[in-house]
Chains A and B, each alone.
Chain A
Amino acid sequence: MSTRLPTFGDMKAQELKGLLLDKRLLGGGVLFAALALYPGLTMNAYHTRLLAWIMCFAIAALGFNIVLGYTGLLSFGHAAFFGTGMYTVVIAMESAGITDLIVLLVLAMLAAGVVGAVIGALSVKTHEIYFALLTLALAQLLYVLAARDVGGLTRGTDGIGLSRPDFLGIPISEAPAHIYLMGFYYHVILVCLFATIAVLWLVLRSPFGLTLKMIRENETRAEMSGVPILRYRLYSMVLSAMIVGLAGALYAVVVGHVTPEYLDWTMSGEIVFMALLGGIGTFLGPIIGASGFIILQEVALGVTTYWHFTMGLVLFVVVLTLREKGIWGGAKALVDDLNERRDDS
């Protein structure tokens, strides 16, 4: 026999080779390694803290974009999920005495998921600005209840301080604060970020993700093809809420103090801002947006106390010029454009 049939083993090897050579995966691996080694190599506590902060909000913006970018609904109430994540951690540690980080993160995701299911169930029937205003009203309701300490869980506007959680029974919380962050907690956030990216990459390319896109592009057609639209919107709200809740839970330990401010509508506005800045029509845009937002804020704060003005101006210009493309989509379009011109000449 001269022709050799490709065997199963060969296929596997080839697929693996293709996978390894995939630019995106390779880039992701290099970035992960670089980020993981950064605190140890530089020993720069300020940068580590800033990166931890950026990564928390990158997770939040990615989670938020499931609803805006993929399902096409503008939520102005995602602070509810972020704040629920934060409060779950602090209340579970204080009242229930749970100190294991993994348990706390899972609890926070579940709690945010429940809040997401409730807000989602009430709001998925509405459209466009009504959806935005309804999510705003419901989240603000939660904020008011937390700020006025209704139910006696939140201690009102003073907020609650937070101690450091342990990990798998190891009493790591006894380490000094900067070692805890640089040697341990930073890496937990990093792993969570890359896990979120991987999960979303798979979910949004699954039939579920494609159905969400179909609903966004043409609701009537989706409905005619038998897609239960409201149920899919609800699923996307719950998934989004869980990821944003995870981000809030991670962030709670970074700041060490939870206040109702994190449930307020300006917090929702910041999450929307980050996703939009990076580009809601792109997969990686929200990460770029969160980094851009926080770096911009740090730079602007260093130069002037009037950083709100700078941020407002940037938001205004991005909305008017780049729209759903954001910085990331805009840059991609620019590169494509340049490539085309080079090919032409």
Chain B
Amino acid sequence: MPIESLLVNTFNGLYFAALLFFASVGLTLVFGILNLLNMAHAAFYGLGAYVAVWTLNNAGDVTTSTVVLLAMLVLVIPLVVFVLSAVLDKTVFAPLYEIEHVYQLLATFGVILMLDDVIKFIWGASPITVDGATDPSRQLGAIDLMGVSVSAYRSFVILIAVACAVGLYLMFVKTKLGKISQAMSEDYEMVQMLGINVNRVRVLIFSISVAIAALGGALFVPFATATPAVTLEYVLLSFAVIVIGGLGSLKGVVVAALVIGMVRSFGIAYFPALELAIVFGLMALVIIFKPEGLFGDEGVVE
């Protein structure tokens, strides 16, 4: 049935888009607000994936309750990574804010290499998967959506992504932190001169951004294996997303994640050999014809 396959592919596209959104939104925020081009950003997506597999596989002795497992994926892991990234921002990343973008790109390429080995050191180089007993995607099973059976877990991931996007939007529009961040993306030095502690804002924005990437990785593993290659794949895809959306734009990330998610989903179904080629082709076309991206010449939330 063509209508059914259209629905299934659209649903899968939304799921891919949700993962891409988690992996890349922080990259664009850190660039737009803090002026740091962090190539290693998606490595935290990979880290989140590994932490989640480890957590789920060790949770079996204590509990197999779906709610507890989901809470660990959505709340505990991002919180742990939040604290970790606050420490990293003060140490490893601190000197990077002072140097040119091109050197930031190179130094954070070094960070990717380091994180890659830290992950291999802790969890080994071979792919690991979540045990069936503590796999929330199996526990939740399938639901019926307009006559098509889809994974309840994937629907949950899509909902979390929507909640996360709305939450970020509200944070930028309603809270003081969000308003200061917007001001910092306009004129960093002016904000500093107004007596606002920019370093504290920097740590918060950086840690929130990295924690969202880890959240994405954590939500990704019940359906996929954690491998060291995940990091490298998402580094590239997240760059494609933020370039197409426009560097520094929240709306851009949402739209570009949807575009690439749909391209992947329909590409896998109809042109499996060309699916990734279309993504990189799109990325190249955007830089050639519209380097500022779809929404890059606007502010973070406009």
Contacts and interface: CB of A to CB of B under 8 A. Distances in A.
B117 A309 contact: yes
B240 to A, nearest CB: 7
A133 B239 CA distance: 8
B103 interface: yes
Interface stretch (A55-63, A134-142, A179-187): A134-142
Contacts, number: 116
A125 B284 CA distance: 13
Interface in B157-179: none
A330 interface: no
Interface stretch (A35-43, A96-104, A316-324): A316-324
Which of B115, B121, B281, B287 lies at the interface centre, i.e. has the most chain A CB atoms within 10 A of its CB?
B287
Nearest to B282: A137
Interface string B95-107: 1100101110111
Contact of A128 (B102, B106, B276, B281): B102
Nearest to B112: A312
**Closest 5 pairs (CB-CB, A-B):** A312-B113, A315-B110, A316-B110, A309-B117, A312-B114
A306 interface: yes
Contacts of B277: 141, 144-145, 148, 150
B71 interface: no
Interface stretch (A11-19, A246-254, A265-273): A265-273
A323 B109 CA distance: 15
A137 B117 contact: no
B116 interface: yes
B283 interface: yes
A220 interface: no
23 contacts: A76-B105, A126-B291, A129-B37, A129-B105, A133-B239, A133-B283, A133-B287, A137-B243, A137-B281, A141-B281, A144-B277, A144-B280, A273-B109, A305-B120, A308-B114, A308-B117, A309-B117, A309-B118, A309-B121, A312-B114, A314-B110, A315-B107, A315-B113
A122 interface: yes
A319 B99 CA distance: 9
B89 to A, nearest CB: 15
Interface in A130-183: 130, 132-134, 136-138, 140-141, 144-145, 148-150
A316 B243 contact: no
A303 B291 CA distance: 45
Is chain B's binding surface mostly helix, strand, loop or mixed? helix
Interface residues of A, number: 42
Given A128-B102, A309-B116, A320-B107, 20 more contacts: A74-B102, A122-B288, A129-B37, A129-B101, A134-B288, A136-B236, A138-B280, A144-B276, A148-B276, A150-B277, A266-B232, A276-B106, A305-B120, A311-B110, A312-B109, A314-B110, A315-B107, A315-B110, A319-B103, A323-B103
B6 interface: no
B273 interface: yes
Contacts of B243: 133, 137
Contacts of B92: 316
Given A128-B102, A312-B111, A136 B239 contact: yes
Interface string B74-103: 000000000000000000100110010111
A300 to B, nearest CB: 10
A141 B288 CA distance: 15
A273 B106 CA distance: 8
Interface of A: 74, 76, 122-123, 125-126, 128-130, 132-134, 136-138, 140-141, 144-145, 148-150, 265-266, 269, 272-273, 276, 305-309, 311-316, 319-320, 323
B105 A132 contact: yes
Contacts of B287: 123, 126, 130, 133-134, 137
B274 interface: yes
A129 B239 CA distance: 11
A313 B284 contact: no
Is chain A's binding surface mostly helix, strand, loop or mixed? helix
A130 B283 CA distance: 11
A146 to B, nearest CB: 10
A140 B284 CA distance: 10
Nearest to B31: A129
B19 to A, nearest CB: 19
Contact of B109 (A128, A138, A269, A306): A269
A55 B77 CA distance: 46
Contacts of B109: 269, 272-273, 312, 315
Contacts of A265: 236
Contact of A122 (B103, B106, B284): B284
Which of B113, B121, B232, B288 lies at the interface centre, i.e. has the most chain A CB atoms within 10 A of its CB?
B113
Given A150-B274, A312-B110, A320-B107, A141 B284 contact: yes
A86 to B, nearest CB: 20
A150 B121 CA distance: 36
A8 B111 CA distance: 60
B113 A309 contact: yes
Contacts of B115: 312
Nearest to A317: B110
A319 B291 contact: no
A137 B280 contact: yes
Contacts of B96: 320
Contacts of B291: 126, 130
Interface string B255-281: 000000000000000000110110011
B260 to A, nearest CB: 13
A316 B107 contact: yes
Nearest to B235: A265
A311 B111 CA distance: 10
Nearest to B108: A316
Nearest to B287: A134
A141 B95 contact: no
